[in-house]
Amino acid sequence: MVATYYDKDADINILKDKTIAVIGYGSQGHAHALNMKDSGLHVVIGLRSNSKFVTPAKEAGFEVLSPADASKKADLIMVLVPDEFAADVYKNDIEKNLQPGNVLAFAHGFNIHFGFIKPPKDIDVIMVAPKGPGHMVRQLYTEGAGVPDLFAVYQDATGKARDIAMAYAKAIGGTRAGIFETTYKEETETDLFGEQAVLCGGLSALLTAGFETLVEAGYQPTMAYFECVHELKLIVDLIYKHGLAGMRYSISNTAEYGDLTVGPKVIDAGVKTRMKDVLKRIQNGEFAHEFVDECKAGKPNMEKLRANAKAHQVENIGEELRSKIPFLKGGKLL
Ligand code: NAD
Ligand code: MG
Ligand code: MG
């Protein structure tokens, strides 16, 4: 098992006399900025003047500058804009404002690993990637806890890059939960694989196929939704806390026997062969370039696929069902 580092292993003092610019104030940006401020660090925010996040950032007590001015002022620049815009923001606002010995940081390795951003040799390049959404990074910090982080060093010009990455992780609350060391390559490739093949892509296709199978066989869509989608939360909670074996301990023997005998028939060797293809396309950069080209074209394919998926019966039934369960009502994602 890879080493786990906690509060005692990291020293925030290495960041105490530095100015930290957080570029972007979205999901991760607001959480990193607020947590670091509460940890006693000097944080400024870089945002375009027309951003809807300028007001909330100012109201939270931050100095808000343009991305270029924030970068110029800072010793450490954390880039927390969406991955598809980061290369442009770097080219237009950050690159010319980098001084030797500065630190460039990311929460995901995409742009550095695939070469969309090529940093100069005389700066540190680090990653601190919380393994959870931004609102959890903030909420858990305010409760005295934290979200675990992955951290990595891509380039160490000062000889202090690793200590700085660990200090950063401590300042956002990561070392309260535990932080784990990785590389840009490993974080980027495993993150993309997990979200494509398992967590987001694989899962939503699995749920949808199960739902369709029951509905096409004449069962009520509501029942199909309960059995193939809604109940997932209960199963995932068990796996999260107790692992697969713990989940199997909790379900009925009937369910467990069906799980063990039928699961591998549905998710068979063919699925794994295709997963290996998915991984290959990630490793050789094909997926990354496809995504960047799609973004440059204004995301036409993504918009179409998103609209089609949203119009699927599984979504209509789900929305109706959630509206009837009182404690889920109004639980819309912001
Ligand atoms: P987000 O979409 O929530 O926020 C983006 C922020 O960037 C907003 O403040 C937006 O106004 C600003 N922005 C957008 N375009 C800009 C531009 N051209 N110039 C300047 N600012 C611009 O993004 P996010 O989900 O917080 O993702 C940020 C980074 O964190 C990404 O690298 C992502 O992979 C990584 N990450 C996200 C999560 C997550 O849970 N969302 C988890 C781990 C890592
Ligand atoms: Mg990801
Ligand atoms: Mg059941």
Residue 328 confidence (pLDDT) = 77
For range 130-134, the mean pLDDT? 94
Ligand 3 centre and the CA of 229: distance in Å?
11
Count the domains in the chain. 2
The 10s digit of each residue's pLDDT in 150-199 is 999 999 999 999 999 999 999 999 999 999 999 999 999 999 999 999 99
Q: Is residue 16 located within the same domain as residue 99?
A: yes
**Domain-embedded: residue 212:** yes
Q: Which of 23, 27, 52, 172 to mutate to test the pocket of ligand 1 (most atoms within 8 A of CB)?
A: 27
pLDDT confidence of residue 62:
98
The tens digit of pLDDT for each residue in 106-117 reads 999 999 999 999
CATH number at residue 151: 3.40.50.720
CB 137 within 8 A of CB 114: no
The CA 79 to ligand 1 mean position distance, Å, reads: 8
Residues 174 and 210 in one domain: no
Whether the per-residue pLDDT at 321 is higher than 60: the answer is yes
- Compute the average pLDDT of residues 50-72: 98
Counting ligands in written order, the one closest to the CA of 228 is 3
Report the distance separating Cα 151 and Cα 108, nearest Å. 10
66 labeled binding residue: no
CB under 6 Å to ligand 1: residues?
24-29, 47-48, 51, 53, 67, 80-83, 85, 89, 106-108, 129-130, 133-134
End residue of a domain, out of 141, 158, 183: 183
Residue 203 and residue 134 share a domain: no
**What is the number of the ligand 1 atom nearest to the C-alpha of 29?**
26
pLDDT in tens, 282-295: 999 999 999 999 99
State the residue range of the domain holding 173: 4-183
> Is 220 annotated as ligand-binding?
no
- Residue 334: pLDDT over 60: no
Tens-place pLDDT, residues 203-257: 999 999 999 999 999 999 999 999 999 999 999 999 999 999 999 999 999 999 9
Ligand nearest to the CA of 252: 3
Q: Given pLDDT bands bounded at 50, 70 and 90, which one contains residue 329? A: low
pLDDT exceeds cutoff 90 at 331: no
Output the CA 77–ligand 1 centroid distance in Å: 14
Q: SS3 for the chain, per residue? A: CCCEECHHHCCHHHHCCCEEEEECCCHHHHHHHHHHHHCCCEEEEECCCCCCCHHHHHHCCCEEECHHHHHHHCCEEEECCCHHHHHHHHHHHHHHHCCCCCEEEECCCHHHHCCCCCCCCCCEEEEEEECCCHHHHHHHHHCCCCCCEEEEEEECCCCCHHHHHHHHHHHCCHHHHCEEECCHHHHHHHHHHHHHHHHCHHHHHHHHHHHHHHHHCCCCHHHHHHHHHHCHHHHHHHHHHHHHHHHHHHCCHHHHHHHHHHHHHHCCHHHHHHHHHHHHHHHCCHHHHHHHHHHHCCCHHHHHHHHHHHCCHHHHHHHHHHHHCHHHCCCCCC
